[in-house]
Structure 1
Amino acid sequence: MTATNTALARLRTLFPNAPNKVVNPASDEQYPAAVAVPWSQTCWTPAAGYVYLSTVEELAGTLAIIRETGAKFAIRTTGHNPNVGFSSGDETAIVLEIGQLNSRELILADGEGDQGAIARVGPGNTWRNVYGWLEGLGLSAIGGRDPEAGLGGFLTGGGMGAFPNLYGLGADGVRNFQVLLADGSLINANAEKNTDLYRALKGGGSNFGIITQFDIAVHPLIKVQYDLNLNSPEDHDAINQATVAVQHAMEEDSKIGIFTNFNNGFVAVGSLYADHSDKPPRGLELFRNLKSLVKTAVPSTRGTILRSVCTVSTLISHELYEDVYRAWVEVCKTLPSGVVLHYTIQHMGKAGVQAGKGSGGNIMGYVSVPQTWWIVACEWPKDGSDDSDAAAIQSLAEAREVLLEYKCMNFARGSQKVLASYGAENVKRMQEAAARYDPEGVF
């Protein structure tokens, strides 16, 4: 009997009165649904079994069996990362499904008011759950731009929100990680306890233990004004010039948020402002004055922040943006029918870097300069292939001497050396933390 089969057999005895806790392909009608939980079909990799866990105690008991048998395993909350095989395991592995660990509790500082309050939330929550709950309390947190994304992967991967210059990245807002270690102990990692693990988890990924609870800083409700316009790609030069100008404006006004997405037949330009204003904030009017508007996908709206991918980071450069556009046009001509390749320009500024340092620092090692974190994404039909690749951008950026080492984990593909991009000193810190908290290498 293989280690995986032994583990599955023992897990069934662990939950004798709850047969639906352990799902496998041979005996359960639930199996197809369990395989198809991840957001992207690229992650629908059939595993040997799925274990649905609703308490930390159940998770600890399951992890003990996994460790004792030596079975391969993966952890899944919402399964939002679209890279092939992510959030899953093959037929030799067991997926521990912790989406039911979705508790939410507001912890008030000194028992009154919301100054210094934190949101204590389980890893199984989506950002939609958290945003809706906090909005009812007049509060906001820095989280994912896609409300269906889960907390775990977003926060341990760094977590770029809609306004990275306002309060930093999502990871910077975590005040405490509750972590289940491989030996079964449940510990807290924060600015005072297990500080080495605390720093490593802020962008260093989840391979140190299983996070069972996040304490996240909350802020007064962020009132957002936003537009989403579709422009003609033929106006690429003006669009890129406006993008660069707004990125520079973001260094003066941390309430600005933008993204520019070059897609099949259109350029989606999203402009956001973390306040309600009767006139366009300085900088954003450049987007609104573009002459190539095709359609207003989302009219000016007031509210609150409610594929395979890869990434590269560069300095801001209009010349580079034009180089990338021309290279993208040529690559798109070679793609098979049905395959869509698109890329997004998004800004990270010095204010965002400083916000991270002010929150105790993180492990990601990005430099304190205005910069662009690119996303290259590919969508293809069932019988197609993955054509996303940031190598062209990297090569063009190198040629113009604007390439940065850092790669954002949340947007990277599996083959990219993300942790190495954090710098040798930070790699050493992560290795030391792993040796201390997971000495047997279970994770």
Structure 2
Amino acid sequence: MAAMKVYSVDLAQETIAALRSQVEGAVVTPQDPDYDTARSAWNLSVTQYPAVVVTAQNAEDVVAAVRFARAHGLEIAVQSTGHGVTLPADSCMLIVTSRMNGVVIDAEAQIAHVQGGAQWHHVLGPAQEAGLAPLLGSSPDVGVVGYTLGGGMGWLARKYGMATDSVVYFDVVTADGELIRASANEHSDLFWALRGGGGSFGVITSLGFRLYAETTIYGGNLFYPIEMASAVITRFRDWIQSAPEALTSAVTIMNFPPLPVVPEPLRGKSAILVRGCYAGPVEEGEALIQQWIDWQAPFINTFHAMPVTEIAAISNDPRDPMPAFASGGWMTGISDETVETLLRYAVPTDHSYPLVMTEIRHAGGAIARPGADSAAFSHRDAPLVLSLVGASPTPEVKAALSAYVIEMKQALGSAMHSGVYMNFLEGHESRQRTRDAYSSDTYRRLIAVKAKYDPENVFCHGFDIPASAN
């Protein structure tokens, strides 16, 4: 129970009452019966005990929460869904933005104006009604802001780029409790930093980003027996060399749990998948996938023309909260030795499967086109990105997964790029490797922006960007 936790901050009831009088949303403390619900994250492996939780209703609530935190010496953590918690919100102010989910679509300008707590499904439906698509990720249930601040590589990325590259403005509450707009013309240094630099600079209350004229895609998965994994990965390596930018694809090793929710042909088994999304004429997408079918017929083929509203069916990520572990990194290529190493760790011969998913996604295309100085997001030259996901029901399992992944990456050697993609990391690794997510010049520039907008490092629960190089 929460009452067993020792808190380093004890706020008087009259102090909390004063905050409640300024906030339209909810203010929750450890003494309140709904505290455990208020402090929870989507990732159930995260345990956090904030001194106070403010579930904001609007930007004014965020301003009041930040000013209260500053007045009482509290650090500030921000959460929309809690999919990607970097540092647990212990003994601090936790601002939850999930109620701030309003969306306005400007169809003529092809811009979405979105509040800071919206999830992608809040945007996707209204955008599609206007014949437009946002650059969402693999799951519509992920928060727009956190995904976008870290980069945002979804199934339309090779055609249109990272989600962060389509942002036209952020409305931000800074560490001094002021609401400002960051864009190419206003606070442009902060605008640069937020596009890929994460949420360590302030609280995003709203943002605007470009939409694209896509309503129908050709996407799905080809399932091959795990015994064919080496041949499939090798063929994927060669296939993507001539892939058009309209195709974003991945090769994925899945270890399916023996649960009733898993279809019988996959239950308790492993498979190698080729998955992707073609954002162009359906017949062109069909021709690309037919190359695989002609090579070897899969035992399951889910590729079909679908509305963009069904794009989540490609990855089929879990929708319900669960204890999850995630890691990854940019890759330089896939040699024959790399294939052998991947299989050794992704499909152990003793039939224990630490990792549920090992995925290599094809990057490049529009991801690589922006100049190195256009935004804080770095390592655009990497051709591939590795995503590793496991279930972590206990701290012991999570620690074992972390050690296993470290060993796996070391074994992959030169196939791993020196840089990381922050959206595929979580927890301790995310904090430890923040510097590796950026070029040295970009990281120095991020520190300078941090020093300007948050010199006391109030927003210290996101990416590890200090306010000083010392």
TM-score range, shorter chain: 0.7 to 0.9
Q: Is the counterpart of residue 255 in structure 1 residue 271 in structure 2?
A: no
CA-CA distance at 1:125 after TM superposition: 0.6
Q: Is the counterpart of residue 440 in structure 1 residue 456 in structure 2?
A: yes
Q: Is the 8 A contact 1:312 1:390 kept in 2?
A: no
> TM-score with structure 1 length normalisation?
0.86
2-structure distance, mates of 1:17, 1:93: 19
Q: Is the 8 A contact 2:134 2:210 kept in 1?
A: yes
> TM-score with structure 2 length normalisation?
0.82
1:111 aligns with none
2-structure distance, mates of 1:214, 1:375: 27
Which residue of the other structure, out of 28, 33, 37, is the alignment partner of 1:33? 37
| Structure 1 residues 334 and 293: CA distance shift in structure 2, 3 A | closer
| Structure 1 residues 99 and 404: CA distance shift in structure 2, 3 A | same
**DSSP 3-state at the match of 2:180:** strand
2:3 aligns with none
2:307 aligns with 303
Q: Is the counterpart of residue 365 in structure 1 residue 378 in structure 2?
A: yes
| Structure 1 residues 55 and 8: CA distance shift in structure 2, 3 A | farther
Q: Is the counterpart of residue 424 in structure 1 residue 466 in structure 2?
A: no
Q: Is the 8 A contact 2:367 2:380 kept in 1?
A: no
Which residue of the other structure, out of 205, 208, 217, is the alignment partner of 2:201? 208
Q: Is the counterpart of residue 193 in structure 1 residue 206 in structure 2?
A: no
CA-CA distance at 1:79 after TM superposition: 1.1
2:161 aligns with 168
Which amino acid in 1 is paired with 2:410? S
1-structure distance, mates of 2:97, 2:163: 20
2-structure distance, mates of 1:166, 1:329: 29
Q: Is the 8 A contact 1:225 1:302 kept in 2?
A: yes
**Cα displacement string for residues 70-96 of structure 1 (whole angstroms, at most 9, x for unaligned residues):** 123311111112xxx647423x23321
2-structure distance, mates of 1:163, 1:34: 34
1:314 aligns with 331
1-structure distance, mates of 2:195, 2:12: 31
2-structure distance, mates of 1:287, 1:394: 29
Q: Is the 8 A contact 2:151 2:423 kept in 1?
A: yes
Return 5+ residue gaps in structure 2 as ranges.
Answer: 1-5, 256-269, 312-323, 460-470
**DSSP 3-state at the match of 1:203:** helix
| Structure 1 residues 180 and 325: CA distance shift in structure 2, 3 A | same
**DSSP 3-state at the match of 1:365:** coil
1-structure distance, mates of 2:330, 2:166: 22
Q: Is the 8 A contact 2:74 2:93 kept in 1?
A: yes
Which residue of the other structure, out of 309, 323, 343, is the alignment partner of 2:358? 343
Return 5+ residue gaps in structure 1 as ranges.
Answer: 109-113
2:423 aligns with 410
Q: Is the counterpart of residue 145 in structure 1 residue 138 in structure 2?
A: yes
Which amino acid in 1 is paired with 2:361? Q
2-structure distance, mates of 1:87, 1:303: 37
Q: Is the 8 A contact 1:332 1:341 kept in 2?
A: no
Which amino acid in 1 is paired with 2:177? G
2-structure distance, mates of 1:383, 1:434: 32
2-structure distance, mates of 1:199, 1:320: 39
1-structure distance, mates of 2:43, 2:7: 30
Q: Is the 8 A contact 2:25 2:56 kept in 1?
A: no
2-structure distance, mates of 1:375, 1:332: 21
**Greater relative contact order structure (CA < 8 Å, 6+ sep):** 2
**Cα displacement string for residues 166-208 of structure 1 (whole angstroms, at most 9, x for unaligned residues):** 1110111111111111112221111122121111111111101
Task: Give the 5 Å matches for 1:50-199.
Answer: 50-81=53-84, 86=86, 88-90=88-90, 92-107=91-106, 114=108, 116-199=109-192
Q: Is the counterpart of residue 284 in structure 1 residue 300 in structure 2?
A: no
**DSSP 3-state at the match of 2:377:** coil
Q: Is the 8 A contact 1:226 1:270 kept in 2?
A: yes
Q: Is the 8 A contact 1:126 1:150 kept in 2?
A: yes
CA-CA distance at 1:150 after TM superposition: 0.3
CA-CA distance at 1:299 after TM superposition: 4.9
CA-CA distance at 1:242 after TM superposition: 2.6
2-structure distance, mates of 1:383, 1:435: 35
CA-CA distance at 1:25 after TM superposition: 3.4
Q: Is the counterpart of residue 12 in structure 1 residue 17 in structure 2?
A: yes
**Cα displacement string for residues 126-173 of structure 1 (whole angstroms, at most 9, x for unaligned residues):** 101100110111111112221100011101111101021111101111
Matched residues, number: 421
Q: Which has the higher strand share?
A: 1
| Structure 1 residues 96 and 176: CA distance shift in structure 2, 3 A | same
